[in-house]
Homo-oligomer: A and B are copies of this chain.
């Protein structure tokens, strides 16, 4: 039980997983990372999360091996998902799917496709065209019918949420 807010006594992998990604904000940080955000300031800007909390969450994610701190294109470090972190994609996907089903009356806000054959990715994460399970790296996002663009992004990194793109591709080009 490594984390401060643990679920002592729960002998279950759901509880164990939630000790890592179940704290407030954490899974949204991971989601943003799938969309290509990598810098402290970009997470803070997009999530409107208190900076101290962001510091704490990033540290915990790095400690747990979900993200790693890597040198960025400039002199600044960036935070990137590790492979362990990328494997959280199914969790994020299913959560989004459930949210779309129940809280997005006009249909999904985002649609995912298999990068190789452009096939739709449906429930269970399989490509409707080739039938394979598609990892985050091979997934592209595009706007769905329920997408609400809001104000056009003023900050370059936040464009990642309004344009078609490949998951995990850095939002800030090098």
Which A residues contact B (CB, under 8 angstroms)?
Answer: 5, 7-18, 22-24, 27-28, 31, 47-48, 84, 87-88, 90-104, 108-110, 123-126, 133, 148, 150
Smallest beta-carbon distance A35→chain B, Å: 10
Q: Are A28 and B7 in contact (CB under 8 A)?
A: yes
The CA-CA distance from A94 to B47 in the complex, in Å, is 24
Q: Are A11 and B98 in contact (CB under 8 A)?
A: no
Q: Are B27 and A124 in contact (CB under 8 A)?
A: no
Q: Are B84 and A90 in contact (CB under 8 A)?
A: no
Q: Are A28 and B11 in contact (CB under 8 A)?
A: no
Q: A17-B103, A98-B88, A123-B133 are in contact. Are A10 and B109 (CB under 8 A)?
A: no
